[in-house]
Amino acid sequence: MNITVVGLGKIGLPLAVQFAKSGHRVFGADTNPAVVEIVNSGKAPFPGEDHLDDYLAEVVPGQLTATTDTAGAVRDSEAVVVVVPLFVDAEARPDFGMMDSATAAIAEGLTAGTTVIYETTLPVGTTRTRWKPRLEEGSGLSEGTDFHLVFSPERVLTGRVFADLRKYPKLVGGLSEEGAQRALHFYEQVLQFDERPDLERGNGVWDLGSAEAAEMAKLAETTFRDVNIGLANQFARFAADNGIDIYQVIDASNSQPYSHIHRPGIAVGGHCIPVYPRLYLWNDPEATVVSAARAANAAMPDYVVAQATALSGGSLAGKKVAVLGAAYRGGVKETAFSGVFPTVEAVRTAGGEVVVHDPMYTNDELRQFGWEPYALGEQADIAIVQADHAEYKDVTAEQLPGVSLVMDGRNILDASQLPGVTVVSVGRPVEESSQ
């Protein structure tokens, strides 16, 4: 097949490489000329994705070509896979701007016989009510007759995309039965799956019967995680106030097979978990459980900073506070919805002087966010672990000179490496945390 992947970001580019490695001719379309140039040189435009550099070198030049001409690439393709970002605004409303532009370009190049598959996570109903009429109007073709439209959510994490593509079933939902069958055939040709004896249905491509069911499946699996973490965070706050170690409670609870309590922490970040519950709420504003969990998780940076403030005599004025970790999670150079932003703001509101450290970012990159960089070994008064980078797990008192209090927002520190320092983990009483 000739395949176009629209959007060469942290999900789209590995997908394009996967398709090319499976023996197909792939066009990677992106509006950023710099990204196109880098990909065509055989290099990845971002770090941290396992195997991407090696795999990209195998398919460029030859099987994969990047281009800024989306319409032209679509015109030459039998299948089009769309992985363009969808953001939410400050009021948690979907911002379809980038996807609308990409859809217009796809419609311009759309020809009869093409299957168009959206993988970007969407509110329920978007494929049918937004993309179908736009594609039909822009192309002059009829969906279900001239071309077919399908939703198939991406279900991978950055950093391990290729492994996740093999590990999890590929969900598809068409607007027509023929569209669904075409999508099944497509993904069976471009993906390979690990054996999953734990799945009664078996691993592979699963037809969920409708685009709406596939849209909701992605929202449900990610919203579940946000709700679960929100519950864990509420448990953690209660446990800490009542002299209980929440991690012992969680491990004990999860020893029974019907309990799957997640870990609490200072923040829930990234493109997925903080965003997709809002997309679900856009369709279902009466989902009080979802909205309460989102509020509980959003409150955690303020909670941790308030703890630090209370343990510092009720004020951070005159205190130098080092926030460790700008990324939303360890080992990933990405700040989308990272807890660093509300943490920094909370420290500043409390009167503290904020400095930020992250092993994946240069000082200049940190300054571009408006933060003063911090280096391990420099003087500070308080440290707050915001990201669970591996580099922080064995941090020592010598690396944090002058620090008398560490708020371990990810419960990763070895307190024995920090003698004389009060170490407080989310969900543990202060006295026990410091041991």
pLDDT tens by residue, 232-252: 999 999 999 999 999 999 999
pLDDT of residue 433: 54
Residue 318 lies in a domain: yes
Are 161 and 28 found together in one domain? yes
Q: Mean pLDDT, to the nearest integer, of 307-318?
A: 94
Phi first, then psi: what are they for 215, rounded to 5°?
-60, -45
Domain C-terminal end among 180, 209, 238: 209
Q: Mean pLDDT, to the nearest integer, of 311-338?
A: 93
Helix (H, G, I), strand (E, B) or coil at 93: coil
Are 51 and 186 found together in one domain? yes
Domain C-terminal end among 188, 209, 230: 209
Helix (H, G, I), strand (E, B) or coil at 243: coil
The answer, yes or no, to whether residue 231 has pLDDT greater than 80, is yes
Of the two residues 434 and 431, the one the predictor is more confident about is: 431
Q: Mean pLDDT, to the nearest integer, of 41-49?
A: 91
- Work out the mean pLDDT of the chain and round it to a whole number: 95
Are 429 and 326 found together in one domain? yes
CA distance 191 to 324: 38
Are 304 and 425 found together in one domain? yes
Are 185 and 305 found together in one domain? no
Q: Mean pLDDT, to the nearest integer, of 67-74?
A: 98
The answer, yes or no, to whether residue 7 has pLDDT greater than 60, is yes
Q: Which domain holds residue 143?
A: 2-209
Are 174 and 72 found together in one domain? yes
pLDDT of residue 36: 97
Residue 37 lies in a domain: yes
CA distance 321 to 375: 12
pLDDT of residue 47: 85
Are 195 and 307 found together in one domain? no
CA distance 425 to 370: 27
Helix (H, G, I), strand (E, B) or coil at 102: helix
Are 308 and 164 found together in one domain? no
The answer, yes or no, to whether residue 57 has pLDDT greater than 70, is yes
Residue 175 lies in a domain: yes
Confidence band (pLDDT; 50, 70, 90) for 432?
A: low
The answer, yes or no, to whether residue 139 has pLDDT greater than 60, is yes
Helix (H, G, I), strand (E, B) or coil at 373: strand
Helix (H) or strand (E) holding 7: none
Are 187 and 43 found together in one domain? yes
Question: Which of 83-92, 189-198, 253-262 is predicted with the least confidence, judged by mean pLDDT?
Answer: 83-92
pLDDT of residue 138: 97
Domain C-terminal end among 153, 177, 209: 209
Phi first, then psi: what are they for 370, rounded to 5°?
90, 20
Output the CA torsion 189→195→200→206 (10° steps).
-20
Q: Mean pLDDT, to the nearest integer, of 139-155?
A: 97
pLDDT of residue 48: 84
DSSP of 51-76, one letter per residue? Answer: THHHHHHHHTTTTEEEES-HHHHHHT
Confidence band (pLDDT; 50, 70, 90) for 119?
A: very high
Count of domains for the chain = 2
Are 37 and 179 found together in one domain? yes
Distances (CA, A) of 72 to 65, 107, 227, 244, 337: 12, 11, 43, 62, 34
Q: Are the CB atoms for 269 and 338 separated by under 8 Å?
A: yes
pLDDT of residue 61: 92
Of the two residues 14 and 87, the one the predictor is more confident about is: 14
Distance of CA 340 to the CA centre of its chain: 15
Q: Mean pLDDT, to the nearest integer, of 91-96?
A: 81
CA distance 211 to 144: 13
Residue 9 lies in a domain: yes
Cis ω for the linkage preceding 285 (within 30 of 0): no
Q: Mean pLDDT, to the nearest integer, of 11-28?
A: 97
Strand partners, 423: 406
Q: What is the pLDDT of residues 289-310, one digit of tens each?
A: 999 999 999 999 999 999 999 9
For the annotated catalytic residues, the residue numbers are: 218, 272
The answer, yes or no, to whether residue 71 has pLDDT greater than 70, is yes
Are 60 and 164 found together in one domain? yes
Q: Are the CB atoms for 347 and 322 separated by under 8 Å?
A: no
Choose the most confident range, by mean pLDDT, from 45-54, 67-76, 411-420: 67-76
Q: Are the CB atoms for 116 and 149 separated by under 8 Å?
A: yes
Q: What is the pLDDT of residues 179-219, one digit of tens each?
A: 999 999 999 999 999 999 999 999 999 999 999 999 999 99
pLDDT of residue 92: 67
Q: Mean pLDDT, to the nearest integer, of 141-160?
A: 95
The CATH number of whichever domain residue 178 belongs to comes to 3.40.50.720
253 contacts: CB under 8 Å, gap ≥ 6: 259, 261
Tokens at 56, concatenated: 């990209």
The answer, yes or no, to whether residue 434 has pLDDT greater than 90, is no
Is 213 exposed, middle or buried, given 0-12, 13-18 or 19+ CB atoms closer than 10 A?
middle
Are 99 and 198 found together in one domain? yes
Residue 217 lies in a domain: no
pLDDT of residue 248: 96
Nearest to 36 by CA among 3, 54, 62, 60: 60
Regarding beta strands 353-357 and 79-82, do their DSSP bridges make them parallel or antiparallel, or are they unpaired? unpaired
The answer, yes or no, to whether residue 345 has pLDDT greater than 80, is yes
